[in-house]
Amino acid sequence: MAPIPRMMKAVQIEQTGGTQVLQYKDLVMPTPKDDEVLIKNDFIGLNYIDTYFRTGLYPNPKPMVLGREASGTIAALGSQVPKSLAFSKGDPVVYMGVSAYAEYTACPAEKVMKIPDGITSSDACAAFLQGLTALTLVEETHKVQSGDWVLVLAATGGVGGWLCQLLRAKGAKTIGTVGSQGKVHVAKEQGADVVVVDQSGQGDVLKTVKDCTNGQGVVAVFDGVGKDTFERSLECVARKGTVASFGNASGAVEPFLISKLSAKNAKVARPTLFNYLYTRDEFEQYSAALFKLMMEERFSIRIHETYALKDVARAHTDIESRKTMGKLLLKP
């Protein structure tokens, strides 16, 4: 591999705000700690959570380099990286960490996974965080069974598309919401059985749910939209069902009386992926399951667009418009 340079390009924020706070600039190359690996990033995953850190919805110390996942090759290893991980310089890897909006990232070795032969670096990056999120939602947040009716909001988004494919593979029946008529065919291709166009909350989602379930409601709602849809999600869920609120695309869910759940003995979960993959064993188990789906089950990887890292402001504008379908990637 080429020598590691002293400086690199990265995207840093020094204050919260709109896309104007995203600074594409030169930063000093990070030095990996003893338990870290230095990765030369090939592709960087853009996730909605990145906008939460940028706007201040999720507070974080500044200055901050954004980004939670990327794929690339190992450029250097810390002195105490466990030999059991069998990492070497030049290995193709994908990881979940911090400070991924950069040419190089130092990441704890425990959060790095080798990319198997047969999976490209771009597909690994596009699938990793969102695919793992979807897997843990249907296996841990609510264990979906064959024949279950499930509601997936934003069915053509990154996580939504994975949820639809996973639910189809499980034999569940999926109602998906989309933001425009042009997204309907994509949601159906991904696995949604019934699709509702829900522009600005105007779609008759609750009626569709009741019609499909004989008035019973769905056993689970996977809601990554947040504030604008939460109350409706509670209406759509069946007795003893689960509302999984895993995102805040429309803003954070406002406080509510817990007694509201007693009408149906419903459950509300606010999961985060990292607490499902807390141990190395959990991380390896779910990563292996994801890679198997990609290689053996031929799950589709939909990439909306790959942006140059310097064009990160446009990428943030696009993802916040909620008009994209699939994964947004950045290229250093």
User: pLDDT tens-digit profile of 88-143?
Assistant: 999 999 999 999 999 999 999 999 999 999 999 999 999 999 999 999 999 999 99
Helix H or strand E encompassing 178: strand 173-178
pLDDT, one tens digit per residue, over 179-195 is 999 999 999 999 999 99
CA angle 215, 145, 228 (to 5 degrees): 55
The percentage of the chain sitting over the pLDDT mark of 90, rounded to a whole number, equals 91
DSSP code of residue 57: S
pLDDT at residue 325, as a whole number: 85
Task: Inform me whether the pLDDT recorded for 200 exceeds 80.
Answer: no
Residue 32 structure tokens: 């990996």
Output the CA torsion 101→103→108→112 (10° steps).
Answer: 90
Residue-wise pLDDT for 304-313, tens only, equals 999 999 999 9
> Does a cis peptide bond (omega within 30 degrees of 0) precede residue 59?
no
How would you class 257 by CB atoms within 10 Å of its CB: exposed for 0-12, middle for 13-18, buried for 19 or more?
Answer: exposed
pLDDT in the model for residue 322: 78
**pLDDT for 20 beyond 70:** yes
Q: Under a CB-based contact definition with an 8 Å cutoff, are residues 104 and 38 in contact?
A: yes
Q: How far apart are CA 200 and CA 198, in angstroms?
A: 6
pLDDT for the residue numbered 202? 60
**What is the pTM (predicted TM-score) of this model?**
0.93
Please determine, for residue 321, whether its predicted confidence score (pLDDT) is greater than 80: yes
